[in-house]
A and B are shown apart, each in its own frame.
Chain A
C-alpha cells in the first residue's frame, strides 16, 4: 500500500473551465523522495494542496486522494495535522509566533500535548536541527534560511510521516537553499519520512530524489527515476530540458547531434540512437546528475584528448566573444563613459552601527550589464541604495552620468536618470490591475498616453497580463510587470536587486531577453545577484562584493574561470579540461571542438 495515492485527480477553480489538474495519477511509496517539477503555473502547488484537506482549494474536483489507503477526506483533522507536514514557499508568512521556541511548540500545542512532552520534543527538535544557538531569539532577527529551517523543525516536531514542501527554497539564497535541502534529505534518509517536494532549482534535488515527476499544463508528462526522466524529456524535446541540472544539460548537449539549444526542434519521440553518436561519445554512458559524476564523465570521454594546443585553441575561441567590449573591465574610463561612478564611499546606517560600505570604488560603463555577486549581508543591496541616491554616504562621492547624486534635488534622478527594481517587485505594484499601475506613471510623461503603456508592456512582455491583479501573477510575471512600471520613467540606468529570485528557468530566460533588449537600446543595467549561472550567461562585467567593497571586477569568463568555489556548475565540472568554459554552451562547444 502506497503512502499517498492520487487517482485520476482532476480539478478546476470555480468559474473557470481550465483544468488546473488533469487526470493526475501519482503514488508515493512510504519513505520515498519524490520531486515534482514543471514550469510556473503547471499545477504543482495545486496538486500539493490536495494532499492536505485544510489547504485544498475550492473548485470542481473529481478523482480521489488516499492517505495510507484511506480517503483523505475521511482522515481526521487531528491525524492530518500531525501526520502530514506541509512547508510552504514564503518563509516569513508561515511563522506564526514571535519566538523561536514558541514556534517550535506551535503544532504540539495544537495537538494538546502536555508540558513535559512538549519540553522534550522541542528540545529534541532544536538539537536535531541545530537551533539551540538561536532558541531564545525573536523570529524577526532570523535570516530567511533560518526561518525556513524553523518552519521545517516546527513541523517535524509533530513527527509527521510525510513531509510536503512547496518550493521551499525559492526565497532563499543558494547557500541557505542547499543547507535546507540537505536537511530535508537527512530527514528522508535518517527518519524514513516520505518527502514530496516541488522545486525549480533542480541541481540539489535531482541527486536526492528517487523519483522525479514532471508536470505540464496540469498533466503528468514524466514519472520515473531522475536519469530516465532526463532521457524522456530530451527525447521529446521538452522545454524542461533547460531546467535540468547543468551536468545533465551538458551531457545531452554533447551527446545529441543538435545540441541542447536545438532540442526543441527535435520531433517528439525522436529517440537518439544508442551507441556512438556524432559527437563520438558513447551515449550508453549513464547521464551524470551532479558535478562529481559530470567531471568523471568528462574525464572518461575527453581526458585522453587533453593536448595543450587543443585546450589553447578552445580557450582562445572562448575568449573571443568578449572582445565586443570597447575596453577591458577594470580599465580606467573617462568620466563621459561612466554611467555610475562611486568614489571612496563609506556608509553606515546609524552613527553607532558598523560600516556597511567601506572604501567602495566602482565605475560602471555606459551601456553595459554589470553584475555584482557576493554573499548575504555584504552590503550589495546597500550599494544599490547609495548608487541611486536613496542613501547618502558619509564620505566619498557618487556620480550618475557625471552628476553628483547630491545635486539631484527632490528625487529628480528618479525621473529619467535612474530607477531601481527592488527585491520584492510586488512592492512597486499598488493598484488593482497592472494597467492601472502603469497608467499612474503617465504623470511623469508629458503627453504620454496608452501608447506609452503599451510600449513598456511590450518590451517586458506583459501585454496579456495588463488586466490581471498584480498579486495573482507568478513571481516571474510580477517581476516583469514591475519592470514595465519602472521603465515608464525612461531611466538611463536600471538597478536590479536579485531579479531572478524565486523565478524558474523559463521566466529567467524571458527576463534575460528583456534585459538584453534594453541594453541594445543603450540602457546601463546594474544587477545584484546570487544567481551565478545567470550572471555568467548574461552579464558583460562581473564584480565580487565582499565586506563592504568590491574585491575584483572582470569579464564573466575571466572572473568565473579564476574562481574555483564561487563559479558555475559548468565550470566546476569541466575546469580540469576547459578552464575557460563557464557556461553550459561553452562546455558543449569545447567538447564538440575536440571530437571534430
Chain B
C-alpha cells in the first residue's frame, strides 16, 4: 500500500535520492527532518520492533560523537580539555553529533528500503539493465535458501547415524562438519548440473532474451514521480543557494534562515515524508471504506 506498491523504478529512485541527500547535507535542520521521518516510517513499518534498532543507532551516534570529539580538535570554542591536554571544542562536538546522527538516519532509511524493496523488485531492476543479469539474480535468490535447507537435511540424516553436529568428541565433530560441507558441495554441483539442463532445455542460451515483469507504470506512478521530482528540484534549488550547508571548521556558520529557507525545509520534509504519507493515506482510505460496509 505504501511506496512499495509504486513502480520499482520510482521506489528505487526515491530511496536513492533520500539516502544520498541525507548523507551529503550537513545542515542540522535537514538532518533532523530526515532523521525524524526515517524514524517515523520505520516505526510505522516495523512497529515496536523498530525501537531496539533505533535505540542502538542513538547509542552509536553518542559513542561516535564522543570518540570523534576526543580525537578531532578543530574549532575555536574550547569547552574543556581531555586528560592528554587536547582541547574539546563545541564545533567538533557538534560535528561529531551531526555525523553520528547522519549515520543513524542513513541506516534507518536503508532498513526501510530492505523492508519494502523485495527481491523480485531487485530482479525487475536488473531486468531493465539486462535480462540475463535478472536471470542470474533470480537463480541466486532461489539457490541461497536451498543450500541452507540441504545443509539441514544433511545434518539431520547424519545425526540419525551418530555422525551429527553435536555428537562425539570435539575433533570428531570438526571432522563431521568438514564431511558435511564436502557433501554439500557435491550436492550443489549435482544440482547445478540438473538446473543448467533445465535452463538450457528451455532456451536460456538463446539470443535476445527479454525479462517478464508483472509491474506496469501507471497513472499514480506518474503522479508520484512528478511530485517527488518537483520536491527534489526545490531542494536542489535550496542546496544551490547554500541553504543546506553548514560549516563547522573553525566555527559554526550557516546562512541565516529566511522565509524562503522555510520553503526548502518544507519541501525536504515533504520529500522525506512521502512514503509515510502514502502509507497513512491509503490505510485511512481502507479504514474509511471498511467502516462504510454494513456488518
> Which residues of A approach B to under 8 Å, CB–CB?
52, 54-55, 77-78, 81-82, 86, 88, 90, 92-99, 101-102, 105-115, 118-119, 122, 139-140, 151, 154-155, 158, 385, 388, 390, 410-411, 414-415, 419-420, 422, 424, 426-431, 440-441, 443-444, 471, 485-486, 489, 495
Contact = CB atoms under 8 A, between A and B. Distances in A.
A149 B208 CA distance: 27
Given A52-B201, A96-B139, A428-B158, A411 B209 contact: no
Contacts of B214: 101
B134 to A, nearest CB: 9
Closest 10 CB pairs of A and B: A81-B203, A110-B203, A105-B212, A430-B183, A427-B157, A414-B162, A420-B160, A112-B208, A93-B194, A98-B142
A97 B138 contact: yes
10 contacts: A54-B200, A107-B202, A109-B209, A112-B206, A140-B149, A155-B202, A390-B160, A427-B153, A427-B183, A441-B161
Interface string B179-214: 110110011001100110111111111111111111
A93 B159 CA distance: 25
B141 interface: yes
A102 B120 contact: yes
A106 B210 CA distance: 9
Contacts of B77: none
B159 A414 contact: yes
Nearest to A94: B198
A232 B66 CA distance: 90
Contact of B142 (A88, A139, A471): A139
Contact of B194 (A94, A97, A114): A94
B156 interface: yes
Contact of B167 (A102, A112, A140, A414): A414
B131 interface: yes
B165 to A, nearest CB: 10
B146 interface: yes
Nearest to A106: B202
A55 B159 contact: no
Given A81-B203, A424-B153, 11 more contacts: A96-B199, A97-B141, A98-B142, A102-B138, A112-B206, A113-B210, A427-B158, A428-B158, A430-B158, A430-B180, A489-B161
B116 interface: no
Of the listed residues A106, A110, A410, A441, the one surrounded by the most CB atoms of chain B closer than 10 A to its CB is: A110
B154 interface: yes
Given A107-B203, A108-B212, A414-B160, A430 B179 contact: yes
A85 B126 CA distance: 28
A517 to B, nearest CB: 20
A546 B248 CA distance: 72
Contacts of A489: 161-162
A139 B183 CA distance: 24
Contacts of B208: 112
A114 B212 CA distance: 8
Contacts of A86: 201
A35 to B, nearest CB: 21
Nearest to B189: A471
A438 to B, nearest CB: 11
Given A102-B138, A427-B154, A115 B160 contact: no
Of the listed residues A93, A112, A430, the one surrounded by the most CB atoms of chain B closer than 10 A to its CB is: A430
B104 to A, nearest CB: 32
A93 to B, nearest CB: 4
Of the listed residues A88, A411, A424, the one surrounded by the most CB atoms of chain B closer than 10 A to its CB is: A411
A112 B160 contact: no
A102 B119 CA distance: 12
Given A106-B202, A390-B156, A430-B182, A411 B212 contact: no
B153 A422 contact: yes
A88 B146 contact: no
A97 B214 CA distance: 15
Contacts of B166: 410-411
Nearest to B213: A115
B138 A88 contact: no
A92 B182 CA distance: 21
Contacts of B154: 427, 430
A33 B142 CA distance: 34
A146 to B, nearest CB: 15
Given A96-B195, A422-B153, A427-B153, A110 B202 contact: yes
Nearest to B199: A96
Contact of A94 (B135, B163, B195): B195
A94 B156 CA distance: 24
B259 interface: no
Interface in B135-180: 135, 138-139, 141-142, 145-146, 149, 153-154, 156-164, 166-167, 172, 179-180
